[in-house]
Chain A
C-alpha cells in the first residue's frame, strides 16, 4: 500500500486569547473552518476546535473500521451511525490532556446477531488506527448497539 499524506493548515492572527484562526484542508479543500480559543473552552456556534476535529477523525476512522470488520464476518452493514465525544481536561502536573474518547455506534446489519456485531465492534476498535494512537494518552470507550432492520 502506498503512503498516504494529508495536509491541513491554519493561519492564526494575534494572540491565543484574543486572536482567531482559519483551518483549511489543504489536500482536499473539503473544509475551511474558523477556530478560536474561546470555542475550545465553550461550545461556540460555527467555530471549531482541535478536540472537535479529533472527534470527527475518530468517528470517521471507527466507522470505516466497523464496516470493514462486519464485511469480513459476512454481514456487510446497510447503515451505521457513530458518535464520538473527545474530552480534554486539566491533569495535575501534566497540564491540559486529552483524557477520553467515547464512541457510540449503532448500525443496521442484515444477517448479523448481537454477538457478531459485538465481535465486529471490538475488532473495529483494535483495527482503527486512531483508537490505537489515542490510547497512549486517553481512555477509549466503545458502546455498540445493533438496530432492527428497516424494510
Chain B
C-alpha cells in the first residue's frame, strides 16, 4: 500500500483569490501557485491546475506501466516519450485524456508495441481511477 499526501492553501474567493500547492510528501514539488483564471482561461503561463496535475499523473503512470510490461516481455525500452493532454469543460468536468507515446524499443515491431501500449492504457492505476472520463485515447508509435 502506498499513501501520498499533498497540501494546498487558498486565500480569498475563487475568482479573485489565489492558492498555493504548498508541499507534498516527497518534497518534489511546491510551492506551486494556482488561480481560477489559470485553470479556466487560456493565459496560464507558469501557473498549474488540477487538470495539468492529472495529465502529469496519467503520463507518469502510463509510462511506468508500459515500461514494466515491455520489460516483462523481454523487450526493455530504451526510451519512452509520453504526453497526456487532459480536457476540462467548466460546468461539465473532465471530458478527455489523450495519451501519446513514442518508444525506442530494440527488438520490438510496431504491432507488438501498439498491443503493449494498449494494455498499459487499460491497466495503469490512473487510467482505472479515471474510468469515469468519457474518452481516454492513445496514439502509439515506435521512434
Q: Chain A residues in contact with chain B, CB under 8 A?
A: 1-17, 19, 21, 23-31, 33-35, 37, 39-64, 66-68, 71, 76-90, 94-98, 129-130, 132-138
Which residues of chain B have C-beta atoms less than 8 A from A58's C-beta?
6, 50
A56-B8 contact given A26-B83, A33-B28, A133-B93, CB 8 Å threshold = yes
CB pair A51–B79 under 8 Å, yes or no, is no
CB pair A98–B49 under 8 Å, yes or no, is no
- Bound-state CA distance A10–B52 (Å) is 13
CB contact between B128 and one of A5, A35, A135, A137 (< 8 Å): that residue: A137
The distance from the CB of A112 to the nearest CB of chain B, in whole angstroms, is: 13
The A/B interface has a contact count, at CB < 8 Å, of 328
CB pairs A–B below 8 angstroms (5 shown): A12-B79, A63-B19, A80-B10, A98-B128, A133-B130
The distance from the CB of A118 to the nearest CB of chain B, in whole angstroms, is: 18
User: B residues 7-47 with Cβ under 8 Å of A?
Assistant: 7-14, 17, 19, 21, 24-30, 32-34, 36, 38-42, 44-47
CB nearest to A31 among chain B residues: B29
Which residues of chain A have C-beta atoms less than 8 A from B21's C-beta?
56, 59-60
- Bound-state CA distance A49–B26 (Å) is 9
Which residues of chain A have C-beta atoms less than 8 A from B84's C-beta?
7-9
CB pair B53–A56 under 8 Å, yes or no, is yes
CB pair B10–A10 under 8 Å, yes or no, is no
Q: B1: CB under 8 A from chain A?
A: yes
Which residues of chain B have C-beta atoms less than 8 A from A130's C-beta?
50, 54, 94
Interface string of B100-124 (1 = CB under 8 A from A): 0000000000000000000000010
13 additional contacts (CB under 8 A) given A56-B30, A80-B11, A84-B6: A6-B86, A6-B88, A9-B83, A10-B60, A16-B67, A19-B67, A21-B63, A28-B48, A50-B60, A53-B60, A57-B54, A66-B10, A87-B1
CB pair A59–B26 under 8 Å, yes or no, is no
- Bound-state CA distance A11–B13 (Å) is 37
CB pair B5–A39 under 8 Å, yes or no, is no
CB nearest to A106 among chain B residues: B9
Q: B82: CB under 8 A from chain A?
A: yes
Which residues of chain B have C-beta atoms less than 8 A from A97's C-beta?
125, 128-129
CB pair A4–B90 under 8 Å, yes or no, is yes
CB pair A29–B45 under 8 Å, yes or no, is yes
CB pair B34–A27 under 8 Å, yes or no, is no
The distance from the CB of B11 to the nearest CB of chain A, in whole angstroms, is: 5
- Bound-state CA distance A150–B3 (Å) is 32
